[in-house]
Structure 1
Amino acid sequence: MRINRIAAATALVAALTVTATACGGGSTSGSGGGDNSAPKTLTYWASNQGTSIENDKQVLEPELKKFEAQTGIKVSLEVVPWSDLLNRILAATASGQGPDVLNIGNTWSASLQATGALLPFDEATFAKIGGKDRFLPSTIASAGAAGKDPAAVPLYSMAYGLYYNKKMFAAAGIEKAPATWDELQADAAKLTTGGKFGLGIEGGNVSENVHQVFTLGKQHGADFFDAAGKPAFDSPNAVAAVKQYVDFIAKDKIAAPGNAEYANNQTLSDFATGKTAMMMWQSAGANLKSQGMNPEDYGVAPVPIPAGATGDKAVKSMVAGINLSVFKNTKNLDGSLQFVKFMTSNEEQKTLNATYGSIPPVKEAGSDAAFSTPDLTTLRDVLANSSAPLPQVANESQFETLVGTAVKNLLAAAAAGKPTTDDSVKAELTKAQQQMPAS
């Protein structure tokens, strides 16, 4: 299930001013007392993955009952909307009053890790939940800064794919999905006719913009941060990547100008209703089904790459998904780790990821037949073999907000008919870089 964390990402600036001594978790009401040898209750903040808060409760509560039957530990569940989740986490780190276990967007991992609030998953801690090797390496790479013990474990994973409308392709005489950007531009030009467009983008969505230009950045040889962790937003390679994305509207005219304002899944709706022929989206099967589109009506291919690209220049997706964390000072550590072990068990991974249309980050669970449909097979391969995590730096969320907003501004200007040049792109990215706080 694709998630929207635009407003939440801006709040993480404040988190990095919180010292480790102020960080906390494990509310009194949910701690089950101070006896870790026999915990009775724990609290869990779950992110909204389903169609509604109530839908998530319907999905999760039967599973939590299973955990209680197995362990005797009662879980107090709260499903928190994405619009509120990060602010709730920050308040918990500052006050010391929060849940025992919680979901976080995986792109927040390094930023929240820097506050000192989350339990590090060192080798001994991983052993308590079944071991680190059970997880896909790409998903572990999105659980904290390189060289440090992860601050979370992967729970639900996703990857971007190129979704294409089979009927529209056939009508245009296109026999297969494009594998390179030149092929995509040629196909999209054929499909842009009669008020319909070849490609849909979500240009008003700050997080979506970052996800897309990060992948293009890797393909252009840009990382947005240098080896020392300093911002490099306006490097020539980063400028080229952002310009390629903006040019879908500005120069190539294969995406509708109105897409510059899209921020609430309108791109998905346009694809489901045949207004656009292609879109780049995270694990969209459940969303498309809810919009009345049948799986046989569309195909999923990897996001295109430059012709002949290899290595990092052949990255096709950022590592998307949800991680599971434990507050470091929980009064219910044993129970919390038992819960993490339960939620990442093969059985629960199969059950929950199948329900939400996501990909199990646990390797054995992901090999189940339920995740072998054509679309998920493609996305699983991308996640395992050609994805990369967003920069795992303390200021990652500020990067998302500032660069995502710069791209949004550039797309809005392009939609208004203003020229998009290397200089105009560089100016927006330089402005974004100048607003980054010191590391």
Structure 2
Amino acid sequence: MRRFRAAASVGAATLSLALTATACGGGSTTGGGGSNDSPKTLTYWASNQGPNLEADKKILKPELAKFEKQTGIKVKLEVIPWSELLTKILTATTSGQGPDVLNIGNTWSASLQASGALLPWDEKNFAKIGGKDRFVESALGSAGAADKDPAAVPLYSMAYALYYNKKMFKEAGIDKPPATWDELVADGKKISKGGKWALGAEGSNLSNNIHQVFALGKQHGADFFTEDGKADFTSDGAVAAVKQYVDMMAKDKIVAPGNAEYAQNQSLSDFAKDKTAMVLWQAAATTFKSQGMSEDEWGVAPVPVGSGAPGQGKATNSMVAGINMAVFKNTKNIDGSLKFVKFMTSDAEQKILCKSYGSVPPVKAAQEDAAFDRPELKVLRDTLAKSAAPLPQVANESQFETAVGTAVKNLFAKAADGGEVTTTSVKAELVKAQQQMSQQ
């Protein structure tokens, strides 16, 4: 999603194939473990973090030139849209036509870890980039299964926030952002009239669907997976979470029916055009600026909770969002790849890159820069520290995004067509999603 657009999901069958195949990578070769057969070149797949691919190239190329000057290693950059990235990674794990270093959505960490394609970040490898303790603990929590060495290193950290359009709030007589869902619905009904709507959603964006219902699930006491990693999509809490989210269109009428068909970034465009008063998003400042909004036109607040203040457990209001950096285990330049990860996660580069992208550095020392104290990032930092939780770090997380994300998409489509969304119909969609998981 926009910069920290989480993961574009792909078919579970494709993922299953990748997870059972021999993991290959490192340029265009196959075979044994990492080596140094190509010590002067690296291929880097960067995820699309900026408003467009060219913006990413403009940000990254000067930094890659700096790395080449320091080390003599030339980095071949390819910026890949989120809609294509996971598919390309899965293809690389089976074909060997992959990069040396790549960005991954942090929600994919455990799934890709299970493929065996990625270099494990054990104590020895962490030592080569300055040590594990340089990184924020919550960011490391989304780098792979809890009982294994991380499969990647945190690169950019994010969380969700509630962005609100100050002009639309003023016109509706609302003087502050909502702190609870009841307040959001009440405010939303004041706003949703005359062709304007309160809240933006992206019903066809499977990953965004997952991110929203995951946090709501936490608030309803649901985790979507049992402690032993089995799918648990049909609990009362999971059903309540999905229904609450879809009801903002179906029952509360504060989300435009057309949002059922929205995909990546379309809700942000409506927000910038004064058509929608609120969006739940990860670091949106750069996108708003690219669409002509000035910083004084919008405000930011924590995502609402059921009651009280955001926190852990039932007060969780965001997934731990972000981008991780991984190395293909069979790279032909293992030393250079580790040097590149060290460079990109250095204190100095973290400040440069995260300022450019509007993200929160997962490196502790870099967060001390005053640039990360501006209001938007303060909300995101507080959320990461106090009230965010990682998506389930299970091997079939990507199938979860596809199955449950599609269930939410189907329910939004029903709501947009005027159909009634009931507890029974929500549970039926989630039963179907869980059955899909059990067949993998």
Q: What is the aligned partner in structure 1 of residue 118 from structure 2?
A: 118
1:21-420 → structure 2 map (5 Å cutoff): 22-27=22-27, 36=36, 39-308=39-308, 311-420=312-421
Helix, strand or coil for the counterpart of 1:394?
coil
Deviates more, 1:299-308 or 1:364-373: 364-373
Moved over 6 A (4+): none
- Offset from partner CA, 1:367-402 (integer Å, 9 cap, x none): 212222111111111122211111111110110011
How far has the Cα of 1:296 moved from its partner?
0.8
Q: What letter matches 1:316 in structure 2?
A: N
Query: Aligned partners of 1:15 and 1:277: how far apart in 2?
Result: 37
Q: CA deviation at 1:29?
A: 8.0
How far did 1:430 drift?
0.3
Alpha-carbon distance in 1 for matches of 2:11, 2:334: 28
State whether residues 240 and 422 of structure 1, in contact with CA within 8 Å, keep that contact through their aligned partners in structure 2: yes
CA contact (8 A) 1:410 1:420 kept: yes
* Contact 1:201–1:267 under 8 Å retained in 2: yes
CA distance in 1 between partners of 2:166 and 2:158 (Å): 23
Alignment TM-score, normalising by the size of structure 1: 0.94
1:111 and 1:395 in contact (8 A); partners too? yes
Q: Secondary structure at the match of 1:9?
A: coil
Q: CA deviation at 1:50?
A: 2.2
Q: Secondary structure at the match of 1:277?
A: strand
Cα distance, 1:12–1:61 mapped onto 2, change above 3 Å: farther
Q: Which runs of 5 or more residues in structure 1 are unaligned?
A: none
Cα distance, 1:18 vs. partner? Answer: 4.2
The yes-or-no answer on 1:421 pairing with 2:414 is: no
Q: CA RMSD in A?
A: 2.1
Identity of aligned residues (%): 67
Q: Indicate whether 1:435 and 2:436 are aligned.
A: yes
Q: Does the C-alpha gap of structure 1 residues 171 and 118 become closer, same or farther in structure 2, counting only changes over 3 Å?
A: same
Is the contact made by 2:35 and 2:331 (CA closer than 8 Å) also made in structure 1? no
Aligned residue pair count: 436
Inter-partner Cα distance in structure 1 for 2:276 and 2:20: 48
Contact 2:3 2:51 in 1 (8 A): no
Cα 1:216–1:26 change in 2 (3 A) is: same
- CA separation in 2, counterparts of 1:40 and 1:320? 33
Distance 1:67 1:299, change over 3 A: same
CA 1:168 to 1:70, structure 2 compared with 1: closer, same or farther past 3 Å?
same
CA distance in 2, matches of 1:311, 1:9: 27
Letter in 1 for 2:131: G
TM-score in terms of structure 2 length: 0.94
User: Given residue 426 of structure 1, which amino acid in structure 2 is its aligned partner?
Assistant: K
Distance 1:46 1:311, change over 3 A: closer
Deviation at 1:313, TM superposition (A): 0.9
Give, in angstroms, the shift of residue 289 of structure 1: 0.6
CA offsets 1:6-38 (integer angstroms, 9 cap, x no match)? 7x52145434334677112112589xxx97499
Paired with 1:35 and 1:110, the residues of 2 have a C-alpha distance of 24
1:94-131 deviation line (CA, Å, top 9, x unaligned): 12332111111111111100000100101121111111
The superposition leaves residues 175-217 of structure 1 with CA deviations (integer Å, 9 ceiling, x where unpaired) of: 2111111111111112222221221211121111111001100
1:321 counterpart SS class: strand
User: How far apart are residue 69 of structure 1 and its match?
Assistant: 1.2
For structure 1, which segment, 219-228 or 266-275, has the greater mean C-alpha deviation from structure 2 after superposition?
266-275
Label 1:341 to 1:87 Cα distance change in 2 as closer, same or farther (>3 A).
same
SS of the residue corresponding to residue 193 of structure 2 reads: coil
| Structure 2 stretches lacking a partner, 5+ long | none
In 2, distance between residues paired with 1:136 and 1:142? 11
One-letter amino acid of the counterpart of residue 46, structure 1 = A
- Residues 71, 434 of structure 1: alpha-carbon distance in 2 compared, 3 angstrom cutoff: same
Deviation at 1:343, TM superposition (A): 0.2
Q: CA deviation at 1:286?
A: 0.5
